[in-house]
Amino acid sequence: MKELGHFVRGRRHGATVVSWAHRSTPCGVETLPVPPVGRGSFPVAFFEAHWHGPNALESVPRRPSRVSALSRADSASPTRHRQQRCMMSNSIPPAVERPSLTAVSPTAAVVRTVATMPVGTKPLGVGMGPLGLHAYVANSGSGTVSVLDIGELTVSTALGPYNTPTALGVSPDSTLVYATDSTANAVRTAQKDVLAVIDTIAVGNNPNGLAVSPSGIRLYVTNQDSATLSVIGTLTSAILTTIPVGAHPTGVAVNATGLEVYVANTAGNTLSVISTVTDTVVATIGGLSAPLGVAVSRDTLRAYVTNSTANTVSVIDTATRTITATIPVGTTPAAVATSSDNLWAYVANYGSDTVSVIDATTNTVTDTITVGHQPTGCAVTPNNIDIYVANSGSNTVSVIQTLNQMAPTLGPQSGGTKVTITGTGLAGATAVKFNAVSAPILANTANRILVASPPGFGTVQVAVTTPGGTSNPKPFTYYPSGTAASLTPAGGPTAGRNTVTIDGAKLATADAVLFGTMLAPPLIVSDQQITAAVPPATGPGVVPVTVTTAGGLATETLTYTYIDPPALTGLSTLAGNHAGGNTIDLTGRNLGTANQVLFNHVNALFSTGADNTLAAVAPPSPTTGPVDVTVTTAGGTSTLPGAYTYT
């Protein structure tokens, strides 16, 4: 152990211990365990001890610029362990803890604390929207879904009614909440604004897992007693297809591209990999042990599967479909969730009332956090600050808060961004300043502050002031608004899924593209260009297209036209000489935007007229016999098989 002034810092029983010692006193040594900060680093507050006779002690901060989670006030905690009790006749009042937003050690990653929120009876699943405003908890015993405000850590009016809600999913725009209702063999859709169920979709027997595609157009539901996966179209609230999987499917996850779905088959000890292009099982991965939960890293490279009877998590390489690591965790691991930065995985251990924190770079457990009784579900907020854990045995949700963080760290110059700041000693904050400009404080606890950023420019320093002093600063960057100048193509099928290109300026921080109210995650090409997959629409028409960047909504108004697919119904002439050249009228619906007519894959000259007709000239054919006639428009393609015969 190394002596630091009048303090001794060392390790005991796997935890860092800071001890006070003085050679010339009879008081001996007093020790206080320090909570872990993550990745092996621990926060320590140092104080010099000045003695004035045998019974008087004065405490003076030794490093006032970097006060951390352990403070002079903390050292008076009744949880400390005394090796020898020292009675002092002149007691000193506890000092007010100075706020801190960062750990002392420059290598420290995180500190985690736990808050507890009451919910309904027997909560199982946790749902989290991509906007990160609310968390949702399925209370299977009370037939409700609790709505939790993430910024203020409050519980609002529950959604319902349900029979036995188990798993949850949230639409990309966070307006709809989907829940499996296991005893009703159904999926129910609730609208958050009206706090009520607005639609019910029948699925297989005992549905218990649910995942929402990134575009929001599909739901994937595991039916445990049917050994199937139901694929639901959210626009029509109808079953698109039902896919056979392994025995007793439970957990389900869809990757960030929306191209693959992973299903944990508990009784089959396998993981089914499903292509969303063909809606078929393309691989089955074995070597698992009663798998329950599955999660996929945001970069789509790894899948994490909980093995409930082996007390492990399997890490699967999604490219090779092989298990690359097996990580020991707690007892009966049930659910797993990953952070959006691909650095962490969190495992809810039902049998040990803990959450295991896995470092995804080393595949090792770096922390084990005690939560409520029988944790069954977990989800990570999009900013990676909080992990919400449903405790089915204690009717609570544990909120694991990552300290020493600020998110987001960027926003528009106009201000108004809701910024969450976590740290220690934040209670009673009197000011949060972005450089010299005060920000409105919206919520405040000992470990968390929610503020609205004031207007500003460039990179500024954010600091919190409390009665104990002013914290170390954190950087926040203001961005100007971007410009979305053009959209190509400007129209497409109502079914969506085609890709558009948006050109403009200052688009590198784009995080959302909206077609009307439908979200399309953007792909950044450059600061001048982004692309996006068009979401589906309920019908034809023109919708505004808006781009959101760190600087706010991009200027310029773009529009996109949804076009119904064509329907080719007949030809005025059904046969002709193989030399071609005769003119034929094609009739149908939605033909006005035709851009191609094919006779057996050969382009034909054509002219459009009304929306229900066009005139085409039959091209020459090297052979005789019937051929297909195909019309392609901006809305899609329609084919009449064998509709025209060459003679």
- pLDDT 10s digits, 423-452: 888 999 999 999 999 999 999 988 889 999
Residue 267 lies in a domain: yes
pLDDT reading at 292 higher than 90: yes
489 and 510 part of one domain: yes
Q: Which of 113-127, 310-324, 411-425, 512-526 has the lowest mean pLDDT?
A: 512-526
Q: What is the pLDDT confidence band of residue 6, given thresholds at 50, 70 and 90? A: very low
Is the domain of 526 the same as that of 613?
A: no
The pLDDT assigned to 22 comes to: 32
In a domain, 88, yes or no: no
Does the structure show a pLDDT above 60 at 472?
A: yes
- Do 123 and 241 belong to one domain? yes
Please determine, for residue 80, whether its predicted confidence score (pLDDT) is greater than 50: no
Burial class (CB in 10 A: 0-12, 13-18, 19+), 5: exposed
Q: What is the DSSP string of 596-607?
A: EEEETTEE-EEE
Q: What is the rounded distance in angstroms from the CA atom of residue 99 to the CA atom of residue 436? A: 18
Residue 91, domain member (yes or no): no
Judge whether 105 lies within some domain.
no
337 versus 592: which is more confidently predicted? 337
pLDDT band at 10 (very low <50, low <70, confident <90, very high): very low
- Whether the per-residue pLDDT at 289 is higher than 90: the answer is yes
Q: What is the structure's pLDDT at 242? A: 98
Q: Which of 380, 402, 424 is the C-terminal boundary of a domain?
A: 402
Average of per-residue pLDDT values in the chain: 82
Looking at residues 49-59, what average pLDDT do you find?
Answer: 30
Domain count across the chain: 5
Same domain, 219 and 336: yes
**Residues 369 and 434 placed together within one structural domain of the fold:** no
Condensed to tens digits (0 to 9), the pLDDT of residues 597-609 reads 999 999 999 998 7
d(Cα 221, Cα 212) in Å, to the nearest integer? 9
On whether both 579 and 545 belong to a single domain, the answer is no
Residues 332 and 225 in one domain: yes
Can you give the pTM of this predicted structure? 0.67
Read off φ and ψ for residue 448, nearest 5 degrees: -155, 140
Is 236 part of a structural domain of the chain? yes
Residue 108 lies in a domain: no
Same domain for 441 and 410, yes or no, is: yes
Give 285 or 131, the one with higher predicted confidence: 285
More confident: 246 or 156:
246
Q: How confident is the model at residue 96 (pLDDT cuts 50, 70, 90)?
A: low
Is 499 found in the same domain as 572? no
Q: Is 610 inside any structural domain?
A: yes
**610 pLDDT above the threshold of 90:** no
Both 556 and 587 in one domain: the answer is no
Mean pLDDT over residues 29-55, rounded?
29
Domain for residue 101, yes or no? no
Q: What is the pLDDT of residue 257?
A: 81
The pLDDT tens digits of the residues spanning 172-195 come to 878 899 999 999 999 999 988 778
**Distance (Å) of CA 557 to CA 483, 532, 544, 560:** 9, 17, 7, 10
pLDDT score for 306: 98
Sign of CA pseudo-dihedral 37, 40, 43, 49: positive
- The pLDDT score that the predictor gives to residue 164 is 97
- Of the pLDDT bands very low, low, confident and very high (cuts 50, 70, 90), residue 95 is low
Q: Are residues 20 and 68 in the same domain?
A: yes
Range with the poorest average pLDDT among 51-55, 493-497, 541-545: 51-55
Same domain flag for 365 and 336 = yes
Rounded Cα–Cα distance for residues 131 and 382 (Å): 7
Range in 26-40, 410-424, 446-460, 501-515 the model is least confident about: 26-40
Rounded to an integer, the average pLDDT of 310-322 is 97
CATH of residue 290's domain is 2.130.10.10
Question: Which domain does 333 fall in, by range?
Answer: 113-402
Q: Domain boundary residue among 351, 385, 402? A: 402
Query: Looking at residue 538, which CATH number applies to its domain?
Result: 2.60.40.10
Point out the domain boundary residue: 421, 447, 473: 473
High-pLDDT (> 70) share of the chain, %: 83
